Amino acid sequence: MENSKCKICRRLGVKLFLKGEKCLSPKCPMVRKSYPPGQKRKRRPKALSEYGKELREKQKLKNWYNLKERQFRKYVKEALGARGKVEDAAALFIKTLESRLDNLVFRLDFAPSRPSARQLISHRHILVNGRPVNIASFLVKKGDKINIKPSSSKKNIFRNLPSVLKKHKPPSWLELNAQNLEGKVTGVPNLEEAAPSAEISSIFEYYSR
């Protein structure tokens, strides 16, 4: 039976990598059924209205970062409330989203997906500067260190992690020590490298109505 997260990707027409390794395999429903759920393969999709396009872009990014509507709206309003150009607001918006602890755990490849990263955090497997943090929305800053709790590193879910991390290349603003299961924030997240799956300007338009 197809997972509900896979249906989200099919409905929005883009891979959001919500299921980790499955998203990279031939078993990914987006590969086998690259059309919306409940719709026949050959049926031509209806043209979206401007509002429909904005809504779709919002849904893409909200699910990409695995956020609830209330959280997502809060980040948008904060970015739009800052004075400056739309481009600056977009950069601030993405910087905030990328600075969330669950996103860092995913970007460092400690977890195969953001939902999985949130679960690791809630189970207190993640340390920030040596202290356990169980809040996925915790915002990290330059100089912060993130690592797997030493007592947790012996668990089955982390058994093969060191060898996996040796092949992983994190974003330029993160530094990864694969052997010690540790990452460090060395810079500031940027819009270009984050490569969000949606048009930020459309999202801003949606919330500005």
Q: Is residue 156 part of a domain?
A: yes
Q: What is the model's pLDDT at position 31?
A: 61
> What is the C-alpha separation between 102 and 117, in angstroms, rounded?
5
Confidence label for 1 from pLDDT (cuts 50, 70 and 90): very low
> What is the C-alpha separation between 197 and 63, in angstroms, rounded?
10
Give me the residues paired with residue 174 across strands: 185
Question: When comparing pLDDT for 136 and 209, which is higher?
Answer: 136
Q: Is residue 54 part of a domain?
A: no
Range of the domain at 2: 1-39
Q: Is the pLDDT of residue 61 over 80?
A: yes
Q: Is residue 82 part of a domain?
A: no
Give me the residues paired with residue 131 across strands: 128
Cβ(202)–Cβ(62) under 8 Å? no
Question: When comparing pLDDT for 36 and 141, which is higher?
Answer: 141
H-helix or E-strand containing 132? Answer: strand 131-132
Tens-place pLDDT, residues 123-180: 999 999 999 999 999 999 999 999 999 999 999 999 889 999 999 999 999 999 999 9
Tens-place pLDDT, residues 9-24: 666 666 666 666 666 5
| Domains: count for the chain | 2
Cβ(207)–Cβ(76) under 8 Å? yes
Q: Is residue 124 part of a domain?
A: yes
DSSP 8-32: HHHHHTS----SGGGGGSTT-HHHH
Q: What is the model's pLDDT at position 47?
A: 78
Q: Is the pLDDT of residue 87 over 70?
A: yes
Q: Is residue 205 part of a domain?
A: no
Q: Is residue 6 part of a domain?
A: yes
Q: Is residue 165 part of a domain?
A: yes
Residues 181 and 107 occupy one common structural domain: yes
Q: Is residue 116 part of a domain?
A: yes
